[in-house]
Chains A and B, each alone.
Chain A
Amino acid sequence: MSPESPLVELRGVGARVGSTAILRDIDFVVQPGEAVGLFGANGSGKTTLLRIIATLMRPSAGSGHVLGADLDGADRFDVRPRIGLIGHIPGLYPELTLGENLEFAARIAGIPKTRAGEALSAVGLADAGDRRSDACSHGMQRRAEFAREMMREPDLLLLDEPHTALDKDAIDLVGHLVESIASAGGAVVVVSHDAERVRSIVSRTAKLVSGAFR
């Protein structure tokens, strides 16, 4: 993949669940340094599109490349560590502390353990590292997920409704994270139905209506 190649390139992508078409004929390109906002009502296919870009779901039609890897090829496994995802439901383990959650992620990803503490400090959770995740507010859990992705430094960051349950400081944090990844030559895709808030942190937007771009 050359430095100028798009980080995400989807051509005619479709997705079905059973007989229901979730996405239809999606063309979507994201260049290095871009932050793109995807808007749409509930059920418009935003999350499905995000999962396809994350290589977590294979399209039922069309083709695509993410970070140079074919969405249908075996090389998609190799690029996964370069993709960050913060979904609208936290992916933390409730019985583990915030610190343990990040240390586990660090160990799997081969990142030094000390980076977990640094990342928690960077999102304002330095004093909450020993607190169990299920004893933390939804907003704190989301901050911990931002910390995890800051620690991982992905080339492509995918955010699903990132502003949910966040206070003002944490909302600023989303902006900083998006900016730092885009300015480093990576890319960010932000999915939301809150167009007003997302417009301030992205370079362009697109709108999904019933599984197709409008």
Chain B
Amino acid sequence: MSGFWDQALAVAGRDIHRERRAGEVVWITIPFGAIALLLVPLAVGTDIPLLRRIGPGLFWVVVMLFGVLISVRRTSAETPAQRDVLTLLGVDAGAVFTGRVLSTTAMLLAFEVVIGVVAVLLYDIRLDGWQWLLVLVPLAALGLGLLGSIAGAITTSLEASAALVPLLVAPLAVPLLLAATEGMDVVQTGGSILPWILLMVVVDLALAIAGVLTARPLQETQ
């Protein structure tokens, strides 16, 4: 039997491989996210100072909403027959959860980077303190990946529709959204970003612990 991390990496590799072939994030979610960012300037007009002010917040709103879609997709991508085979291969439920979080986080990171470039171009966002994005963006992606994976496991175990996932994820994503938007704001207005980073770390850590601890009970009720 393989070790925990080997199994987790195998699950993550499988998910990324499947996504590369299906291309749903690249060809569906990213274009829709970019369109959502494009619609706001069309609605409010070419008020550059206004766009510059709301740009960072809109970026994070799009990341959170469309990030949920990416998480939902990962949830509904596995059939009961595939789950049965995986279970009988002797996979550790925690390793499946960890692998799923890794793959979803990687996809969310790619989404954030592309949407971030679109947001900078459309909203003329100032990039003061851009280096903090290297911390905020991965923490947000990890948090959403964790949330989506937990919500996905819950809906699968309840045999509920994947449509339930956004309802579970969206409210719980609020602390992440708040920390990300406020964090970017204090970087530009002058202030300490550390409390907001700490909030994201605490949320991610709590979700990671909850996810690993509930992985097996949720798997067994599927």
Interface segment, one of B15-23, B170-178, B186-194, B202-210: B15-23
Contact mask for chain B residues 11-36; partner A; CB cutoff 8 A; 1 contact, 0 none:
10010011001100000000000000
Contacting residues, chain A, for B14 (C-beta < 8 A): 93, 96, 104
- Closest Cβ of chain B to A190, distance in Å, is 17
Contacting residues, chain B, for A104 (C-beta < 8 A): 10, 14
- Closest Cβ of chain B to A101, distance in Å, is 9
Pairwise interchain contact A96-B17, C-beta atoms closer than 8 A: yes
B42 located at the interface, meaning its Cβ lies under 8 Å from any Cβ of chain A in the complex: no
Pairwise interchain contact B81-A89, C-beta atoms closer than 8 A: yes
**How many residues of B are counted as interface, with CB atoms below 8 angstroms from the partner's CB atoms?**
23
B84 located at the interface, meaning its Cβ lies under 8 Å from any Cβ of chain A in the complex: yes
B89 located at the interface, meaning its Cβ lies under 8 Å from any Cβ of chain A in the complex: yes
Contacting residues, chain A, for B91 (C-beta < 8 A): 108
Contact mask for chain A residues 74-107; partner B; CB cutoff 8 A; 1 contact, 0 none:
0000001101110101111101100010001101
Interface segment, one of B1-9, B105-113, B127-135, B149-157: B1-9
Nearest to A158 among chain B residues (CB) is B88
A110 located at the interface, meaning its Cβ lies under 8 Å from any Cβ of chain B in the complex: yes
Nearest to B7 among chain A residues (CB) is A108
- Closest Cβ of chain B to A171, distance in Å, is 21
Asked if A93 meets B10 with Cβ closer than 8 Å, knowing A84-B88, A109-B90, the reply is no
Using a CB–CB distance below 8 Å, which chain B residues touch chain A?
A: 1-2, 6-7, 10-11, 14, 17-18, 21-22, 79-82, 84-91
